[in-house]
Amino acid sequence: MRRGGYLDRHPAVAVLCGLFALGLVIEHWAVAILAAMTFCAVKAGQHYLRHRDEQRRLDTAVAARADWEHQQYLAGNSIGWYGQYPPAR
């Protein structure tokens, strides 16, 4: 059976740590705001990088599909002309 973490097993210590952190935030609110702004900036940067990488992956897939269809067109295959959307028959 998996045991919880240290603070799960010692709730009094968890409460004291929470009160200590609250006291630090109240006493040094400017630092807390700066830390929150830094955290938000880092998370926004991570989100941007993830989105950019996903967009590059999709663009690469579209380019690869277009190259394949072009090669099919040059070979005389009709899939190169219509691609993923052939006409209804």
Higher pLDDT, 9 or 54: 54
In a domain, 17, yes or no: yes
In a domain, 28, yes or no: yes
In a domain, 88, yes or no: no
pLDDT value of position 87? 78
pLDDT value of position 33? 95
| Phi-psi region at 64: left, alpha or beta (left = phi > 0; alpha = psi -120 to 50) | alpha
Q: How many domains does the chain have?
A: 1
pTM exceeding the 0.85 threshold for the entire prediction: no
Instruction: List the structure tokens of 9.
Output: 């097993």
What would the mean pLDDT of 70-88 be, rounded to a whole number?
A: 84
pLDDT reading at 1 higher than 70: no
**Over the stretch 12-69, which tens digit does the pLDDT of each residue have?**
999 999 999 999 999 999 999 999 999 999 999 999 999 999 999 999 999 999 999 9
pLDDT value of position 86? 77
Residue 66: give the domain boundaries.
6-82
CA distance 21 to 60: 47
In a domain, 1, yes or no: no
In a domain, 68, yes or no: yes
In a domain, 87, yes or no: no
